Amino acid sequence: MTRAGVLREANAKLNVFLRVLGRRGDGYHELESLVLPISLADGVRVRRADGLRVTVKGAERLAGAVPAGGLNLALVAALALGDVCERSGGAEIEITKRIPVAGGLGGGSADAAATLLALNELWGCRLDPATLADVGARVGSDVPAMLVGGPVLMRGRGELIAPATVARSWWVIVSFGFGVRSPDAYRWWDEDGASSGPDPEPLLDAAETGDVEVLGPLLFNDLEPPVFARHPEVAEAKARLLEAGALGAVMSGSGSSVAGLSRDEAHAKEIALGFRGAVVTSGPPAA
């Protein structure tokens, strides 16, 4: 921590696979997913202040709108941490946006996780990872996974996580000027009677060894059929990535962003030339 406060990177994520196993009694869906943090990241800085406030920079360059008030997940995270930290106080939370907004890349959850980690240090809460994960789960389903800082296998509705070993890989991210609300995507999955994807073990093996030629065709997301049916432009982006030479392509989360897997950085940059605003990134990010 410096006089300028605490600075944390809030890394975006890709769902290398997303398997929907069915609707639960509590209204959520039982999931299984390999969550891969990538080098694309927001910046989150926290400083001591009177009261809690959030400022957002750079959102005007990105799709969607980032709320700076009560619906901002970073502010929700700060309030949740304040409930369990005896040393909590005020803070100014400054977010520099680089992750496309509402695109299934976990930008809001990443900001919330980075805020929890930064305020835990700023306020001297000394909360352990398990306690922070419990706080994060109250903020959003993706937040516990984003707190880990590395690849995880996520189950339940997102609260059950286990570290996963994933070799570094390169991706091309294609995003749109709209997002798909998670509740809508899962409701469409129910309405369409969509099915669950295959056993992910072969995919997990390929991800661990870094065999991208094997991994590419194994990428899947059970939410793609219902989302593609309602947003055919997302399906078209996936098809175009494959036509451009991507080894595989998959929609991340509930969409609308689509990620194309490449052989290496040079291959990713070559693919990205065919897409306006495409982002070349890798994961997991360097420590």
Active site residues: 13, 142
Which residues lie across from 15 on neighbouring strands? 35
Q: At how many degrees (to 10) do helices 73-84 and 129-139 cross?
A: 130
* DSSP H/E element including 46: strand 29-47
**Size of the chain, expressed as the number of residues it contains:** 287
* DSSP H/E element including 76: helix 73-84
Under a CB-based contact definition with an 8 Å cutoff, are residues 45 and 17 in contact? no
What backbone phi and psi angles, to 5 degrees, belong to 149? 85, 5
> Which residues, other chains included, contact 89 with Cβ-Cβ below 8 Å and sequence gap of 6+?
48, 123
Under a CB-based contact definition with an 8 Å cutoff, are residues 247 and 263 in contact? yes
Q: Is 159 exposed, middle or buried (0-12, 13-18, 19+ CB in 10 A)?
A: middle
What's the alpha-carbon Rg for the chain, to the nearest Å?
A: 18
